[in-house]
Amino acid sequence: MVRVCGVDPGTGSWDIVGLDDDDLVLDTSIPTRAVLETPSRVVKIIKSMGSVDLVVAPSGYGLPLVKLRDLDERRFFLLTLKREKEVRVIGLEQVVRLLMKEGFEGYIIPGIKHLPSIPPYRKVNKIDMGTSDKLCSVALALWEFARESNMDYKDVSFILVELGGGFTAVIGVERGEVVDAIGGAEGCIGFTACGGMDAEVAYLLGGFEKKLLYTGGATYIIGYEGLTPEEFALMSERDERSKLAWHALIEGTVKDVASVSVSLERFDSILLSGRLARVERVRNELEKRLTRFAPTRRVKGFARIAKEAAQGAALIANGLAGGSCESLVESLRIREAYGSVLDYVYFDKIQELRGKLSV
């Protein structure tokens, strides 16, 4: 018997899933603003499960599988990539420190870039190839696809499009391993986030705070930051700014899928997950456009409330604790993760930073 919990620190909500072996025992979501106001709420929800063998904690950009009790300030920086004097953006650090203080057994898991299944030349000058929550979404998609198709993980190949409430990411999985990915800070615009930034735009902006990365997306194009994904879909043909935002997000996503497809010898499906994938108009439009590459559908998941990343985090926790999902963790090579997100970045300032951090 293994009793585990997985946490997804999303842009719009924090989702938490608990499993008792294969049984769902916790399925909840709280607004991110509530976590910012009271980080201890996340800890209280986890403690409501009673005894917990292992927690997959919110892991940000990720680390090569580090136990919570082994975290230090250097590793905290690599999780958040937040400059010392900058205000906290999403509350991740506070929650992780509270989990450590409470003595939870758990792990910080890798991000996509840490995985050994991705060739180093695909990592050059990239940091965000998909944060740890994107790896969790991949885990759910791989687990579900294999179960529904009655296939071994090594026989499963697909592209996952993760349409979060902030960022959009596209991840390629071949024979049960992640082989390439475009993260939310690298690729097309997200619902709120700017995505990959033209180098000349970055130059003109000069030094900027991390919170800028969460802006410039579809809602900012429309000019209404408080827009919900459902409202975005309804407004998609209302005026020129709404049309601009709609086409930028949808076509940008398709282009990123096309880009990742180059790295796969073959793939059987394109799977959609994340907050925007729950909106029928967004999902239908992407399914229509992406079927040129492969049959496209949404990841169903096994929870009613929590998003896909939290479900995948719970599956990974189960596998790390020696439960039925151990083979899933092995297929994704999570225990073999290595390095840091600063590896293979060839700019002097980053090289200097790596030297200071000894990574």
Digit-coded pLDDT (tens) for 188-199 = 999 999 999 999
- Domain residues for 251? 3-357
pLDDT tops 60 at residue 132: yes
Of the listed ranges 79-88, 168-177, 296-305, the one predicted with least confidence:
79-88
- Higher-pLDDT residue of 226, 6: 6
CA 349 – CA 337 distance, rounded (Å): 25
Structure tokens at 167: 């960022």
CA distance 247 to 237: 10
For 77-121, what is each residue's pLDDT tens digit?
999 998 766 654 458 999 999 999 999 999 999 999 999 999 999
Q: pLDDT digit string (tens) for 204-256?
A: 998 888 889 999 999 999 999 889 999 999 998 889 999 999 999 999 999 99
- Strand 269-273 with 158-163, pairing: parallel
Whichever domain contains 302, its CATH number is 3.30.420.40
Answer yes or no: are the C-beta atoms of 331 and 177 closer than 8 Å: yes
- pLDDT for the residue numbered 207: 82
What pLDDT is recorded for position 90?
55
Pair 349, 174: CB distance under 8 Å: no
pTM reported for the whole predicted model: 0.96
Q: In what order do the strands lie in the sheet with 269-273?
A: 177-182, 168-174, 158-163, 269-273, 296-298
What is the average pLDDT across 44-50? Answer: 97
**Residue 172 parent element (H or E):** strand 168-174
pLDDT at 151 over 60: yes
* pLDDT the model gives residue 238: 86
Beta bridge partners of 170: 161, 182
Average model confidence (pLDDT) across the chain: 95
Count up the domains in the chain and report the number.
1
Does the structure show a pLDDT above 90 at 334? yes
Q: Tell me if 273 sits within 8 A of 141, measured CB to CB.
A: yes
In sequence order, the β-bridge partners of residue 16 are: 7, 28
